[in-house]
Copies of this chain bind each other. A is one copy, B any other.
Amino acid sequence: MAELAARSGLSVATIKYYLREGLLHSGEAVGQTRTRYDDSHVRRLRLIRALTDVANLRLDTVRSVIEGIEQAKSWPEAVGSAHRRLVPEPLTAPSDASLARVDGLLDRRGWTLREGGRHRETLAHALDTVAELGDEVDDELLDTYGDAMARVATVETARLDPSDRERAAELAVMGTLLLEPVLLTVRRIAQENAARAARGESI
Protein backbone atom coordinates (compact mmCIF):
# COMPACT_ATOMS: atom_id res chain seq x y z
CA MET A 1 0.00 0.00 0.00
CA ALA A 2 2.89 2.35 0.84
CA GLU A 3 4.53 1.49 -2.47
CA LEU A 4 1.25 2.07 -4.30
CA ALA A 5 1.05 5.52 -2.72
CA ALA A 6 4.62 6.35 -3.74
CA ARG A 7 4.13 5.16 -7.33
CA SER A 8 0.79 6.87 -7.85
CA GLY A 9 1.59 10.12 -6.03
CA LEU A 10 -1.53 9.73 -3.87
CA SER A 11 -1.81 9.41 -0.09
CA VAL A 12 -2.66 6.07 1.57
CA ALA A 13 -5.86 7.63 2.92
CA THR A 14 -6.94 8.66 -0.58
CA ILE A 15 -6.20 5.20 -1.98
CA LYS A 16 -8.25 3.56 0.81
CA TYR A 17 -11.09 5.94 -0.01
CA TYR A 18 -10.99 4.96 -3.71
CA LEU A 19 -11.00 1.26 -2.69
CA ARG A 20 -14.06 1.79 -0.47
CA GLU A 21 -15.81 3.75 -3.21
CA GLY A 22 -15.14 1.00 -5.74
CA LEU A 23 -13.10 3.27 -8.03
CA LEU A 24 -10.08 1.00 -7.52
CA HIS A 25 -10.32 -2.80 -7.74
CA SER A 26 -9.17 -4.77 -4.67
CA GLY A 27 -5.69 -6.27 -4.43
CA GLU A 28 -4.91 -9.94 -3.88
CA ALA A 29 -4.77 -11.02 -0.21
CA VAL A 30 -1.36 -12.50 0.62
CA GLY A 31 -1.37 -14.02 4.09
CA GLN A 32 -3.18 -12.42 6.99
CA THR A 33 -2.10 -8.80 6.85
CA ARG A 34 -0.64 -8.21 3.42
CA THR A 35 -2.32 -7.38 0.13
CA ARG A 36 -0.63 -7.51 -3.23
CA TYR A 37 -1.24 -4.72 -5.75
CA ASP A 38 0.10 -4.74 -9.31
CA ASP A 39 0.67 -2.41 -12.26
CA SER A 40 -3.04 -2.34 -13.04
CA HIS A 41 -3.62 -0.63 -9.68
CA VAL A 42 -0.91 1.94 -10.31
CA ARG A 43 -2.34 2.68 -13.76
CA ARG A 44 -5.87 3.00 -12.45
CA LEU A 45 -4.76 5.43 -9.72
CA ARG A 46 -2.83 7.53 -12.23
CA LEU A 47 -5.92 7.66 -14.42
CA ILE A 48 -8.03 8.82 -11.46
CA ARG A 49 -5.43 11.49 -10.71
CA ALA A 50 -5.45 12.66 -14.31
CA LEU A 51 -9.24 12.90 -14.26
CA THR A 52 -9.47 14.66 -10.89
CA ASP A 53 -6.33 16.82 -10.62
CA VAL A 54 -5.62 17.66 -14.26
CA ALA A 55 -9.06 17.55 -15.88
CA ASN A 56 -10.75 18.80 -12.69
CA LEU A 57 -13.64 16.35 -12.94
CA ARG A 58 -16.01 15.57 -10.12
CA LEU A 59 -15.75 12.13 -8.58
CA ASP A 60 -19.09 10.95 -9.95
CA THR A 61 -17.93 11.83 -13.48
CA VAL A 62 -14.67 9.97 -12.82
CA ARG A 63 -16.65 6.94 -11.66
CA SER A 64 -18.79 7.09 -14.78
CA VAL A 65 -15.71 7.31 -17.08
CA ILE A 66 -14.09 4.33 -15.32
CA GLU A 67 -17.25 2.24 -15.52
CA GLY A 68 -17.33 3.02 -19.24
CA ILE A 69 -13.76 1.73 -19.65
CA GLU A 70 -14.55 -1.45 -17.72
CA GLN A 71 -17.73 -2.21 -19.59
CA ALA A 72 -16.49 -1.45 -23.10
CA LYS A 73 -15.89 -4.44 -25.34
CA SER A 74 -13.03 -2.77 -27.26
CA TRP A 75 -10.83 0.22 -26.63
CA PRO A 76 -12.34 2.33 -29.42
CA GLU A 77 -15.66 1.74 -27.69
CA ALA A 78 -14.08 2.76 -24.37
CA VAL A 79 -12.81 6.01 -25.89
CA GLY A 80 -16.24 6.79 -27.33
CA SER A 81 -17.86 6.02 -24.01
CA ALA A 82 -15.40 8.23 -22.10
CA HIS A 83 -15.92 11.12 -24.52
CA ARG A 84 -19.68 10.80 -24.11
CA ARG A 85 -19.37 10.94 -20.34
CA LEU A 86 -16.86 13.82 -20.39
CA VAL A 87 -18.85 16.24 -22.54
CA PRO A 88 -21.60 18.18 -20.79
CA GLU A 89 -24.85 18.48 -22.68
CA PRO A 90 -25.11 21.90 -24.42
CA LEU A 91 -27.55 24.15 -22.57
CA THR A 92 -29.24 25.36 -25.75
CA ALA A 93 -29.97 23.35 -28.87
CA PRO A 94 -27.58 24.09 -31.76
CA SER A 95 -28.92 25.72 -34.93
CA ASP A 96 -29.83 23.64 -37.96
CA ALA A 97 -27.35 25.67 -40.02
CA SER A 98 -24.46 24.68 -37.76
CA LEU A 99 -25.57 21.06 -37.61
CA ALA A 100 -25.53 21.05 -41.42
CA ARG A 101 -21.98 22.47 -41.35
CA VAL A 102 -20.88 19.65 -39.04
CA ASP A 103 -22.54 17.04 -41.26
CA GLY A 104 -20.70 18.54 -44.23
CA LEU A 105 -17.35 18.12 -42.45
CA LEU A 106 -18.17 14.52 -41.51
CA ASP A 107 -19.23 13.74 -45.09
CA ARG A 108 -16.15 15.28 -46.68
CA ARG A 109 -13.85 13.32 -44.36
CA GLY A 110 -15.86 10.09 -44.37
CA TRP A 111 -16.13 10.23 -40.59
CA THR A 112 -18.95 8.55 -38.70
CA LEU A 113 -20.21 9.10 -35.16
CA ARG A 114 -21.29 6.55 -32.63
CA GLU A 115 -24.92 6.55 -31.64
CA GLY A 116 -25.56 8.20 -28.29
CA GLY A 117 -22.53 10.50 -28.61
CA ARG A 118 -22.78 14.27 -28.41
CA HIS A 119 -19.94 15.44 -30.66
CA ARG A 120 -22.29 16.57 -33.43
CA GLU A 121 -24.31 18.82 -31.11
CA THR A 122 -21.24 19.98 -29.17
CA LEU A 123 -19.41 21.03 -32.32
CA ALA A 124 -22.47 22.73 -33.82
CA HIS A 125 -23.01 24.58 -30.54
CA ALA A 126 -19.39 25.78 -30.57
CA LEU A 127 -19.86 27.06 -34.14
CA ASP A 128 -23.01 28.89 -33.03
CA THR A 129 -21.11 30.58 -30.20
CA VAL A 130 -18.43 31.79 -32.60
CA ALA A 131 -21.07 33.13 -35.01
CA GLU A 132 -23.01 34.81 -32.22
CA LEU A 133 -19.88 36.69 -31.23
CA GLY A 134 -19.40 38.07 -34.72
CA ASP A 135 -16.79 35.69 -36.14
CA GLU A 136 -17.29 32.79 -38.53
CA VAL A 137 -15.66 29.41 -39.06
CA ASP A 138 -15.88 28.87 -42.80
CA ASP A 139 -15.63 25.43 -44.41
CA GLU A 140 -12.00 26.02 -45.37
CA LEU A 141 -11.06 26.49 -41.73
CA LEU A 142 -13.24 23.60 -40.58
CA ASP A 143 -11.59 21.31 -43.14
CA THR A 144 -8.17 22.57 -42.06
CA TYR A 145 -9.04 21.50 -38.52
CA GLY A 146 -10.33 18.16 -39.79
CA ASP A 147 -7.19 17.51 -41.79
CA ALA A 148 -4.85 18.54 -38.96
CA MET A 149 -6.70 16.46 -36.36
CA ALA A 150 -6.87 13.41 -38.65
CA ARG A 151 -3.06 13.43 -38.88
CA VAL A 152 -2.72 13.96 -35.14
CA ALA A 153 -5.17 11.18 -34.29
CA THR A 154 -3.43 8.70 -36.61
CA VAL A 155 -0.07 9.25 -34.92
CA GLU A 156 -1.67 9.17 -31.45
CA THR A 157 -3.52 5.94 -32.18
CA ALA A 158 -0.41 4.22 -33.51
CA ARG A 159 1.14 4.62 -30.03
CA LEU A 160 -1.44 2.35 -28.39
CA ASP A 161 -1.01 -1.40 -28.00
CA PRO A 162 -4.37 -2.83 -29.11
CA SER A 163 -3.68 -6.24 -27.56
CA ASP A 164 -4.21 -4.87 -24.04
CA ARG A 165 -7.77 -3.55 -24.21
CA GLU A 166 -8.01 -1.94 -20.78
CA ARG A 167 -4.52 -0.43 -20.91
CA ALA A 168 -5.18 0.99 -24.39
CA ALA A 169 -8.49 2.44 -23.22
CA GLU A 170 -6.89 4.04 -20.15
CA LEU A 171 -4.08 5.55 -22.23
CA ALA A 172 -6.49 6.79 -24.88
CA VAL A 173 -8.65 8.55 -22.29
CA MET A 174 -5.59 10.03 -20.57
CA GLY A 175 -4.31 11.10 -23.98
CA THR A 176 -7.53 12.92 -24.78
CA LEU A 177 -7.37 14.92 -21.56
CA LEU A 178 -3.67 15.30 -20.82
CA LEU A 179 -2.56 16.04 -24.35
CA GLU A 180 -5.13 18.80 -24.84
CA PRO A 181 -3.06 21.36 -22.89
CA VAL A 182 0.02 20.29 -24.87
CA LEU A 183 -1.75 20.72 -28.20
CA LEU A 184 -3.33 24.06 -27.26
CA THR A 185 -0.04 25.52 -26.06
CA VAL A 186 1.65 24.43 -29.29
CA ARG A 187 -1.25 26.13 -31.12
CA ARG A 188 -0.65 29.42 -29.31
CA ILE A 189 3.06 29.32 -30.11
CA ALA A 190 2.22 28.56 -33.75
CA GLN A 191 -0.28 31.45 -33.85
CA GLU A 192 2.19 33.99 -32.55
CA ASN A 193 4.77 32.84 -35.08
CA ALA A 194 2.26 32.82 -37.94
CA ALA A 195 1.12 36.33 -36.96
CA ARG A 196 4.67 37.64 -37.00
CA ALA A 197 5.42 35.85 -40.25
CA ALA A 198 2.31 37.38 -41.85
CA ARG A 199 3.57 40.84 -40.90
CA GLY A 200 7.14 40.02 -41.93
CA GLU A 201 8.04 40.86 -38.34
CA SER A 202 10.93 39.43 -36.43
CA ILE A 203 10.83 38.81 -32.70
Interface of A toward B, CB cutoff 8 Å: 9, 42-43, 46-47, 49-50, 54, 74-76, 79-80, 83, 87, 105-106, 109, 111-114, 117, 119, 122-123, 126-127, 129-130, 132-135, 137, 140-142, 144-160, 162, 171-172, 174-176, 178-199, 201, 203
Contacts A155-B141, A157-B191, A192-B83: A134 and B46 contacting too (C-beta < 8 A)? yes
A151 touches B147 (CB 8 A): yes
A199 touches B162 (CB 8 A): yes
Please report the C-alpha to C-alpha distance between residue A151 and residue B113 in the assembled complex, in whole angstroms.
25
User: Which of B172, B179, B190 has a CB less than 8 Å from the CB of A150?
Assistant: B190
B135 touches A175 (CB 8 A): yes
Contacts A79-B191, A176-B191: A144 and B133 contacting too (C-beta < 8 A)? no
Instruction: State the copy count for this chain.
Output: 2
B158 touches A152 (CB 8 A): no
Contacts of A50 in B (CB 8 A): 133
A146 touches B190 (CB 8 A): yes
Q: Report the minimum CB–CB distance from A178 to chain B (whole Å).
A: 5
> 30 A-B residue contacts at CB 8 Å?
A43-B134, A46-B134, A74-B199, A74-B201, A83-B188, A105-B186, A111-B193, A112-B193, A113-B189, A114-B203, A119-B192, A123-B189, A126-B181, A129-B178, A144-B152, A145-B182, A146-B186, A146-B190, A147-B151, A148-B152, A149-B186, A149-B187, A149-B190, A153-B187, A153-B191, A153-B195, A156-B191, A157-B191, A157-B194, A172-B195
